[in-house]
Structure 1
Amino acid sequence: MAQKWNDAPEVATHTNLPEVYFPAPALAAPYHAHGESLGSIPLNPFSQSKHMTTLIESPKSFYPSPNSIQNYDLPSTEQHQRQTSRRICRCSFIVLVLSVLVTALSITVIGLAAGTGVETNRANNAESKLASQPIIDHGCSKNPDSVTGTQYTSDFYDRSTFKIFCNSDAPNPPLQSFFVGTFDDCIDACASYSAYTSGNFPDVSSSSNFTCSGVSFIPDWTNRTTALSVNAPGNCYLKPGPQKSTGLTHPSAEGPAVHAAIISSS
């Protein structure tokens, strides 16, 4: 027989039972914790009882907490910045010192090189001027015909006067030989030799063998390198008397130039 709409169950109003009730499932065996049954444990998972605290308590982590003394003693941001700035300043100071030293050494080397170059140029210029034939040979290389027969009076000693003969060689073995700067210096040396001989050797001062009466000068040997190449003992040779213009010899054109000067009283 079909049920009518009014035959459906209705909510009971005369009882305290819930509308829907789910009985607890039966366990195969009773669970005992600390001597008590499961039924005595509250069902509320958020209960503050000691039973649930024991069950849900998680193991403590072995990692140290941020405030633990086991953490590394890392510097603060400000301290790290100060240390970094200090390292940068120290490195900058070292780089600055090295830069200054390198700059000073560079300036020193450049200065030495420049000074050496200047001195070398001066020496070369002086040697070039000294090696200039018109200066060192009294003009014999430039105008031998016009210079030959002219006289030269020494500014020193007894102010002796000598007559110059270009491209000529005074005779007799030399009394002494040495290096001088110019032909005029060679003539002055001859005058000096005669002046000092009469004072130092009065007994022989009248002998022509102990006085300088003429000179032979070789301008090419004023250059020390050239003189060493031929093992020359000098470029100026003091000659004893007698000296006469007719006794002069003329050296070969193939050899170095030689110029002579003899005392005018000879």
Structure 2
Amino acid sequence: MATEHAPRHEPGLEAAYHAGLEPVVQHFPEVAYQQHLYPQHHHQNQYADAPLPKPDPLSSSVPPFSGVPRTFTSADPPPPGKRHRVCGCSLLVFLLAVIIAILSAAVIGLAAATGIEANQASDATAQVAALTASLAAAAPASTTAPISAIDAGCSANEKAVTGTNYTAFKVLGALRYTLYCNRDSKPAPLLSLFTPDFETCMDACAAYTRYIPESFGTGANTTCGAVTFIPAWTDKSVAFDGRAPGNCYLKPTVNAASLMVSTIGVDCHSAVYAPGT
């Protein structure tokens, strides 16, 4: 039968209680276990002085070796896979042979094409040379025109040409100019240019008088009244050596009586506009 026991208090609860904390006491029924008492026999330790059993030498020894010795080897390696072969060669060797054949064919083709192009270029060069030679043979030999052919005959017959008239291009007004061989005019030029001959220089003077007034009015220097032509400067290399900007110089209106002999060291011819003639 269970016996009642006084409630137990945990140590330190009193200190907690005095510190202001009130312990809560729980009353749970306690279970009492019956204690079985067994009779105790006082014997001497029967294992204390008992001798330890000795191991059997036969049972602990390694059993004797008998029979034929065995040879231990590792497992046999698996048989190699079947290799692909093309035309009796391995796949790698076959591919290398194909690549070499392709490269060889490309080199041979390139060499052949280069040879063909070289032959064509050689043939074209020969044809050009033959054509050039034929053109050179057919072309007339270049000749330098005599000065008299570009100066209206002043260098050939000064007296016969001086005082004659030249009528400019009709579209430009058919203006007339009187020629004076080996004469120069004082006024500064309105314009300098290169013309192939004396007549064209007078046409340029007529064109200046025809178009300049339409653009700039009828003020000063809008009318060309005379020209000076230097045949030697028709050759631009000669003109360059003489620092000449042209061989034809357009000038304002001048009086024929004011013309003078040229002092520039080369032939110089003039023409003066002759209205109403």
Q: TM-score, normalised by structure 2?
A: 0.52
Residue 17 of structure 1: aligned partner: none
Residue 133 of structure 1: aligned partner: 147
Determine if contact 2:228/2:248 at 8 Å carries over to the other structure.
yes
Written as runs of structure 1 = structure 2, the 5 A alignment for 1:215-234 is 215-234=227-246
Q: Which of 233, 242, 266 in structure 2 is aligned with 1:256?
A: 266
C-alpha RMSD of the superposition? 3.1
Select the structure that is richer in helix. Answer: 1
1:210 aligned counterpart, secondary structure: coil
1:128 aligned counterpart, secondary structure: coil
1:237 aligned counterpart, secondary structure: strand
Written as runs of structure 1 = structure 2, the 5 A alignment for 1:39-58 is none
Query: Which amino acid in structure 2 is aligned with residue 180 of structure 1?
Result: T
Written as runs of structure 1 = structure 2, the 5 A alignment for 1:178-257 is 178-204=193-219, 207=220, 209-241=221-253, 243-252=254-263, 255-257=265-267
Query: Which amino acid in structure 1 is aligned with residue 203 of structure 2?
Result: D
Determine if contact 1:170/1:261 at 8 Å carries over to the other structure.
no
* Aligned equivalents of 1:159, 1:247: Cα separation in 2: 25
* Aligned equivalents of 2:198, 2:159: Cα separation in 1: 17
Determine if contact 2:182/2:267 at 8 Å carries over to the other structure.
yes
* Aligned equivalents of 1:195, 1:101: Cα separation in 2: 56
1:152 CA displacement: 0.5
Equivalent pairs, count: 164
Q: TM-score, normalised by structure 1?
A: 0.54
1:198 CA displacement: 2.3
Determine if contact 2:175/2:275 at 8 Å carries over to the other structure.
no
Written as runs of structure 1 = structure 2, the 5 A alignment for 1:66-215 is 102-115=122-135, 117=136, 125=142, 128-129=144-145, 132-156=146-170, 157-204=172-219, 207=220, 209-215=221-227
* Aligned equivalents of 2:266, 2:260: Cα separation in 1: 14
1:197 CA displacement: 2.0
1:99 CA displacement: 7.0
Larger radius of gyration: 2
Unpaired runs of at least 5, structure 2: 1-111
Query: Which amino acid in structure 2 is aligned with residue 244 of structure 1?
Result: N
1:133 CA displacement: 1.4
Query: Which amino acid in structure 1 is aligned with residue 194 of structure 2?
Result: F
Unpaired runs of at least 5, structure 1: 1-92
2:186 aligned counterpart, secondary structure: coil
* Aligned equivalents of 1:173, 1:228: Cα separation in 2: 20
**What do the CA deviations read for 1:49-87 (whole angstroms, capped 9, x no partner)?**
xxxxxxxxxxxxxxxxxxxxxxxxxxxxxxxxxxxxxxx
